[in-house]
Structure 1
Amino acid sequence: MALQISATNPEHPALLLELPWHLPLEDWPEEYLVPLPRGISRHVVRYSRAGDEVIAVKELAERPALREYELLRDLDRIGIPAVDPLAVVTGRTDASGAPLESVLVTRHLGGSMPYRSMFETTMRPATMHRLMDALAVLLVRLHLAGFAWGDCSLSNTLFRRDAGAFAAYLVDAETGDLHPQLSTGQRDYDLDLARVNISGELLDLEASGALHPSVDPIEFGMEICARYRGLWDELTRASVYPAGKYHYIERRIRRLNDLGFDVAEMQIEHASNGDTVSFVPKVVDAGHHQRQLLRLTGLDTEENQARRLLNDLESWMATQDDYAPGDPLGARPEVLAHRWVREVFRPTVRAVPPELRGAMDPAEIYHQLLEHRWYMSERAQHDIGIETAVEDYIKNILPKARKTLQPTAE
């Protein structure tokens, strides 16, 4: 079989051809390698360079290589934090024509580190707690997307520092499987594997003297379970609110946003004792809200403004009689979004006199009005209508803000 390179980018095959595919990966000369820290792996892994990019090259059998390549592409499409698949190289042979194993090529995740490199200096327990938080978030995100990892561990994860915390990325999808939805048993199996694997990895570190003396490997293995279950419950539980307490829904959405999750769908079922609200969270990447709001409404805003406006749009759509997600006879989200702009967004912004707006653009005005309604509803302990909030904002908030911004006489 001739050498074949299947790549996501048409430019990559030409760049990859320059690498010594006729040699086993462990025999690659130093001139082709990039000296970066590597984690423990059941396969031979090396870092190299393709053009201007640093790549990770993993040697494994053809079938699992192709499967992992497709799984990583699927995870990329649905926005899951994982290494970026670039290519699969098959049909490798050595100089004598003997077959060599296939290779999976992924883009090196800049600024990331395998966990063992992070323990080269003794890691404080507080830092380890943040590491467990990051891994728990990653596992929840995978499970929400229907991905059963099959081998969750510190070794199969890369970590990036993120403003005092950590972000975790899946680096090995070989044992994974993607489903429309995971059962409780599938999730529990993944979680139990994570517990055992993490405890074992920390016991190895303890034996080598790289673990802080106050850290109990078994307790930290259990900690991933507790953090996962707490986060899963917050994201998936159904909430029951009394009629008229819609600001409670917003409070729940804010908690989910603070955790890094977006409420992509919201189903409201009216019951005799109140409104039962089921949240279906969806993990999003940076800039997602800007792109989604622009696509739905044509409004071009900043990211935080877009997230706030999308939450209001979702809440409004859920109250419309013709809103039926999945029903071909229901109104499309784009149709409802433009109706929201016409009937809600623009009239609300126009209610604020131009002379009182200052330098605020329409999206910021609407955001401020939503914030004011939120605080009024919290104080009143019932939902305040947007009209009431606008009146109070114009009367009591804007004059004070303008006075504060006016330059003082010398």
Structure 2
Amino acid sequence: MSASLSITSAVVDPGLLDLPWNLPLDTWPDDAIASLPKGISRHLVRFVHLSGAVVAIKETTEEMARREYEMLRTLQRLEIPCVDPVAVITGRVDDDGTPLMPVLVTRHLRFSLPYRALYSQTLRPETATRLVDALAVLLVRLHIAGFFWGDVSLSNTLFRRDAGAFAAYLVDAETGQLYEGGLSNGQRENDLEIGRVNIAGELLDLEAGGRLDGSVDAIEVSNGIIDAYRTLWKELTGWESFDRSERWRITQRVERLNDLGFDIEELAIRTDGDSTEVRIQPKVVDAGHHTRRLLRLTGIDAGENQARRLLNDLDSYSAATYPDKSVDEEQVAHEWLVRVFEPVVRAIPRELKGKLEGPEVFHQLLEHRWFLSQNEARAIPLAEALSSYIDTVLRHRRDEATMIAPPTETIGLPLDTDAIEVVDDETPAGSWRDKV
């Protein structure tokens, strides 16, 4: 390692010093490389083992690396779903003293999948819609925060399962710009058009390679992000008018936004002189209403849809155990965590723990128990459902924490998705579309 090597990081992992920075990234030894699925990138990106975890290393210019590192840190402070920036490495040279490109290091998002791993011959059109919905939610959150992405695409997004739906995470922020005063309508429309064109191109590329279900219309799916975005944006930021006698609709609007997973900071309420009409507009703070409530009550960090499902089970437990509501919410939550959730997670065999995250396992278990109860016309105990779920469902899933895939690719090199086929065998859950 050259003495001129410079590492910029909030918390430096000593393991970074052991990586072969004196070698071009495309020549790193196999024992350092983690074989994980990834999307297409304009830069060379490799997944690398680091201190028992996996990081993504991207070669780029020093200016772009530092800018993206700071942008990702800012987005994290704003609680925007994105990858975790680890470090910027500059001053790399090979053994002959020839300068090598600087790199940006980000932490690999466990249990996440790129779109190319999800779009396979077995993918249903409903799942394609759910991916677009997830990307639309991410884009709305970014725009509410005043972030112009500039390169909206499936390739720059990672997806994690979230209770029958998907949650989208921003991966590439190098073209992004944050505006304190918020985005203009023109900037938002520009991002939408970029996304529509990019997504259409990505799906048409899969279609040309025979890797897209024949029933999926690439253009229709790409146009779907526009419709999904507009519907959600209107619900979150639009004005609503009603008669003064219908003041209950103010509370209804707040509850509807909470159901969508968004908290609000304030409501703008206007009346027109002697008019009987009232107009309200919410100021949305952030998504994650259910996630934050679950984290506060139980310490479980889950996706928004997962959190909603777990909270429903917690509420059911509370109603059944304390019908008179004699115990406060925090105590009930602790009992549910100790008596219901944690025993389920501990019961998962060690060799199956990499299949899915704990909250997703619990969600799927509840779904499985419901189907068993319907089929057998009786109430199925949770322990019985858990045994059936492990043997008939979980044991046959692919490992999404450490999915094996071909080596990292760059533009121009086709990805062999046959090696990372993902069967979407989940029952679709209600999305935010059902609540608008």
What TM-score does the superposition give when structure 2 sets the normalisation length? 0.66
Matched, 1:279 2:246: no
The one-letter code of the counterpart of 1:193 is: I
Deviation, 1:284, is: 3.7
**What does residue 360 of structure 1 align with?**
327
- 8 Å CA contact retained: 2:200, 2:222: yes
More displaced, 265-274 or 99-108? 265-274
Measured in 1, the distance between the counterparts of 2:200 and 2:144 equals 24
The one-letter code of the counterpart of 2:112 is: S
**What does residue 73 of structure 1 align with?**
73
Secondary structure of the 2:244 match is coil
Secondary structure of the 1:359 match is coil
Number of residue equivalences: 304
Deviation, 1:357, is: 5.3
Matched, 1:219 2:223: no
The one-letter code of the counterpart of 1:225 is: I
Measured in 1, the distance between the counterparts of 2:279 and 2:84 equals 39
Higher relative contact order (CA 8 A, sep 6+): 2
Which one of 6, 9, 12 corresponds to residue 7 of structure 1?
Answer: 9
**What does residue 409 of structure 2 align with?**
none
Measured in 1, the distance between the counterparts of 2:116 and 2:100 equals 29
Residues 287 and 197 of structure 1: CA distance in aligned 2, closer, same or farther (over 3 Å): closer
**How far does the alpha carbon of each residue in 1:306-356 deviate from its partner, in whole angstroms, 9 at most, with x for none?**
x9xxxxxxxxxxxxxxxxxxxxxxxxxxxxxxxxxxxxxxxxxxxxxxxx9
Please show how residues 97-176 of structure 1 align to structure 2 within 5 Å: 97-176=97-176
Residues 266 and 358 of structure 1: CA distance in aligned 2, closer, same or farther (over 3 Å): closer
Residues 60 and 132 of structure 1: CA distance in aligned 2, closer, same or farther (over 3 Å): same
The one-letter code of the counterpart of 1:53 is: A
Deviation, 1:242, is: 2.6
- 8 Å CA contact retained: 1:8, 1:85: no
Measured in 1, the distance between the counterparts of 2:120 and 2:219 equals 21
**What does residue 288 of structure 1 align with?**
292
**How far does the alpha carbon of each residue in 1:123-149 deviate from its partner, in whole angstroms, 9 at most, with x for none?**
110110111110111111111111100
Deviation, 1:95, is: 0.9
Matched, 1:260 2:261: yes
**How far does the alpha carbon of each residue in 1:25-79 deviate from its partner, in whole angstroms, 9 at most, with x for none?**
1111011111111211011111112212211111111000000001100100000
Please show how residues 303-342 of structure 1 align to structure 2 within 5 Å: none
Measured in 1, the distance between the counterparts of 2:245 and 2:92 equals 66
Identity, in percent, stands at 51
Measured in 2, the distance between the counterparts of 1:253 and 1:32 equals 50
Deviation, 1:244, is: 4.4
**How far does the alpha carbon of each residue in 1:230-260 deviate from its partner, in whole angstroms, 9 at most, with x for none?**
1111111012233243320121122212222
The one-letter code of the counterpart of 2:234 is: D
Measured in 2, the distance between the counterparts of 1:288 and 1:213 equals 40
Secondary structure of the 2:68 match is helix
Measured in 1, the distance between the counterparts of 2:72 and 2:83 equals 7
The one-letter code of the counterpart of 1:251 is: Q
- 8 Å CA contact retained: 2:121, 2:213: no
- 8 Å CA contact retained: 1:22, 1:94: yes
Secondary structure of the 2:18 match is coil
- 8 Å CA contact retained: 1:90, 1:103: yes
Deviation, 1:290, is: 7.6
The one-letter code of the counterpart of 2:11 is: N
- 8 Å CA contact retained: 1:119, 1:211: yes
Measured in 1, the distance between the counterparts of 2:260 and 2:101 equals 42
More displaced, 279-288 or 44-53? 279-288
Measured in 2, the distance between the counterparts of 1:219 and 1:358 equals 49
Residues 96 and 364 of structure 1: CA distance in aligned 2, closer, same or farther (over 3 Å): closer
Gaps of 5+ in 1: 294-302, 308-355, 366-410
Measured in 2, the distance between the counterparts of 1:226 and 1:3 equals 48
Residues 38 and 79 of structure 1: CA distance in aligned 2, closer, same or farther (over 3 Å): same
The one-letter code of the counterpart of 1:227 is: A
Residues 159 and 271 of structure 1: CA distance in aligned 2, closer, same or farther (over 3 Å): same
Secondary structure of the 1:17 match is helix
Secondary structure of the 2:92 match is coil
Please show how residues 391-406 of structure 1 align to structure 2 within 5 Å: none
- 8 Å CA contact retained: 1:238, 1:276: yes
Q: Superposition RMSD on alpha carbons, in Å?
A: 2.4
The one-letter code of the counterpart of 1:150 is: G
**How far does the alpha carbon of each residue in 1:366-394 deviate from its partner, in whole angstroms, 9 at most, with x for none?**
xxxxxxxxxxxxxxxxxxxxxxxxxxxxx
More displaced, 194-203 or 235-244? 235-244
Measured in 2, the distance between the counterparts of 1:198 and 1:276 equals 37
The one-letter code of the counterpart of 2:260 is: L
Residues 142 and 90 of structure 1: CA distance in aligned 2, closer, same or farther (over 3 Å): same
- 8 Å CA contact retained: 2:120, 2:212: no
- 8 Å CA contact retained: 2:120, 2:213: no
Secondary structure of the 1:175 match is coil
- 8 Å CA contact retained: 1:122, 1:210: no
Measured in 1, the distance between the counterparts of 2:11 and 2:168 equals 25
- 8 Å CA contact retained: 1:89, 1:102: yes
Residues 3 and 234 of structure 1: CA distance in aligned 2, closer, same or farther (over 3 Å): same
Measured in 1, the distance between the counterparts of 2:70 and 2:116 equals 28
- Name which one, 1 or 2, has greater alpha-carbon Rg: 1
Secondary structure of the 1:64 match is helix
**How far does the alpha carbon of each residue in 1:138-168 deviate from its partner, in whole angstroms, 9 at most, with x for none?**
1111111111000100111101111111111
